[in-house]
Structure 1
């Protein structure tokens, strides 16, 4: 063996290790960034919008976010089999998605800080300036004076992690932690496994991908529906109802091979998951005071990320031994726990000020 070849053989494992480590770091950073975004966005929206449109605000935010699902599906279909300008298609998909962050950064430059957070930090004058600016804009849009402000509420000091474990927040923390563990099973158990589950139903690979694309088009429709219903019904009631819809559609999905019915049931599962998504993102941000809101939402939501790590392995194992019927029985069991924990332990929040919910 030549000296150059020997050097390459010795260096190859190191190079592979460096590439792998770099990929892990990049993916981890992206995951950390998105994870922090999800927590911060929910906290920010809940603190900034009026109580009578909180649900619709979350529905609007998620409708825009879920628009990316069919767009990415289309980009993947268009680019992945090709290599424009000599660059692999999948890299183009990633690059296009990453450049979206630049537009988000530009949009956010003029966003006001949360007045509730400013007041909680003792920056009362800044909070007052933000509120006055918001009120002036609303008055200009509506062309009439705003109604009288609600009585002032004492601002609590900065919260600590231990504050999540005293009444009434202890039961809410436990409820949402359990909820997030099991809602992930329903959400990702279907969304990430649609093509495989369709193949198990006897659909060919090519046809299953076409069906999956049609089902993906329904992703933003759930939150769009929320623009009309989000503040008409209690958040907890919507979560329980959508969990029930996922159970019905999922078990039915596992028992049919008719193409049109499979697509309809897949759309029903997607709508149920995404309506539940905007509802619980709004709900968990409402249940804690400003002093611990972001910290508490981050803690309870982190359980959904832990659950997502293991859900794929559980689904794969169940699918291997029990087929698609077993998968949907597994999902139905998880959704039954969601219905029980939210239905029994969840307080009502619709149209209630955050300060009232906190107390």
Structure 2
């Protein structure tokens, strides 16, 4: 359907040559208000991210469920199961980044959701630890590529003055997926409706939502900026016109002038990452930041339930803590969306890293349930806001031809470390206790702050390249 609409909106070639260039598309998109088409794109992206985050958060529930009777899973087997999602993501992220640069953002997002649905349903039907671990790896392959592609797509279609806010709104509502899946498992835990275990129901519903998201993406236009950057100026102009028409601005065809030929696109995708020192430095910066981040932002929510068990709390209390500690991130991210486009990205990220270091130390020292919940909410809020602003910061500084590839490469680095996080941190927690584990996290946050201070400023409210 969207292809027919683009065909109908397609202007004469001469007009497209002037209106479909990268500079023209950027100027036209940034001049628009938020339209119903922008809102639809935000809603579909948020639905997909909601499902993605729910799949990741399900690992937190599985950690508590399989660690306790009647499963009593060995810690080594549990570590592999928890790591499987992130291991799949480490491979899947660059793959979907390549698809995003070669076939388009929309098609790559659809492919990611389709595979996510298949992996979730396979995990729900799995029998035995090996089958479940393989299915979760397949899900992780898709999960790894979706968030950076969503950030890429939204950054390219949203007006510059609303870019940060829309990305954080998507992240804030998407984070409710983590809370929703924990509450679902808790609500169903007293029994097994239709003879199906609660965690399997969570996977079935997640697969259905992923399939719905893939279907809805077919009704959205691809990124006009990406189309223009690879030389498809006519399609870029047509996609841009869809946003303009949604704003009530019927574009007028540019009068035909002397025949012009669109500039040939330069290197795109992974090749572009190695075309110059500037590109390598920018990509290296974000690979470093995304690689370090999971040891704090992912490890805490993933292992917090295990820390609670180590402190002597029951599994039911650990699950309740996991659910309560997820209340802060959606609210904190949504509130930050109100002011993010007036704030400097780098300063925000440095401050949040310092806050997480302090809160992690406080969590390790706490012993009462209420204190742990309050500190956990604060830490998870800071971690979620850090991850959301980091995505905004990265999409602003990476140019369109390599944005998907660079973002997914950086994200893959994060998935590798996220896969290793439970393998690294669980033995430290078991052998030396929470203080030692959070000492490692503090060192990592200090390294992240050092990279940020040495990096460039963000482009709040400014056009992206």
TM range (shorter): 0.7 to 0.9
Quote the residue 1:290 is aligned against.
400
Q: 1:46 aligns with which of 132, 136, 155?
A: 155
Quote the residue 2:243 is aligned against.
134
Quote the residue 2:89 is aligned against.
none
Structure 1 residues 250 and 24, CA, compared in 2 at 3 Å: closer, same or farther? closer
Separation in structure 1 between the aligned mates of residue 140 and residue 160 of structure 2, nearest angstrom:
31
Structure 1 residues 303 and 62, CA, compared in 2 at 3 Å: closer, same or farther? same
> Do the aligned residues in 2 keep the contact of 1:171 with 1:345 (CA within 8 Å)?
no
> Do the aligned residues in 2 keep the contact of 1:161 with 1:295 (CA within 8 Å)?
yes
Q: Which is further off, 49-58 or 83-92?
A: 83-92
Quote the residue 2:100 is aligned against.
none
For this pair of structures, how many residues does the alignment match?
Answer: 329
Structure 1 or 2, whichever has the larger Rg, is: 1
Q: What's the RMSD between the two structures over aligned residues?
A: 2.4
> Do the aligned residues in 2 keep the contact of 1:245 with 1:268 (CA within 8 Å)?
no
Quote the residue 1:103 is aligned against.
212
Separation in structure 2 between the aligned mates of residue 265 and residue 98 of structure 1, nearest angstrom:
33
> Do the aligned residues in 2 keep the contact of 1:47 with 1:116 (CA within 8 Å)?
yes
> Do the aligned residues in 2 keep the contact of 1:211 with 1:263 (CA within 8 Å)?
yes
Quote the residue 1:353 is aligned against.
463
Structure 1 residues 208 and 161, CA, compared in 2 at 3 Å: closer, same or farther? closer
Quote the residue 2:272 is aligned against.
163
Match of 1:349, SS? coil
Determine whether 1:208 maps to 2:298.
no
Determine whether 1:243 maps to 2:243.
no
Q: How does 1:1-359 map to 2 (within 5 A)?
A: 22-139=131-248, 156-165=265-274, 166-355=276-465
Match of 1:353, SS? coil
> Do the aligned residues in 2 keep the contact of 1:251 with 1:325 (CA within 8 Å)?
yes
Separation in structure 2 between the aligned mates of residue 155 and residue 347 of structure 1, nearest angstrom:
30
> Do the aligned residues in 1 keep the contact of 2:345 with 2:457 (CA within 8 Å)?
no
**Offset of residue 112 of structure 1:** 1.1
**Offset of residue 50 of structure 1:** 1.2
Match of 2:401, SS? coil
Unaligned runs of 5+ in 2: 1-125, 252-261
Match of 2:239, SS? helix
Separation in structure 2 between the aligned mates of residue 340 and residue 45 of structure 1, nearest angstrom:
28
TM-score in terms of structure 1 length: 0.85
Q: Which is further off, 75-84 or 316-325?
A: 75-84
**Offset of residue 331 of structure 1:** 0.8
Separation in structure 1 between the aligned mates of residue 323 and residue 230 of structure 2, nearest angstrom:
47
TM-score in terms of structure 2 length: 0.66
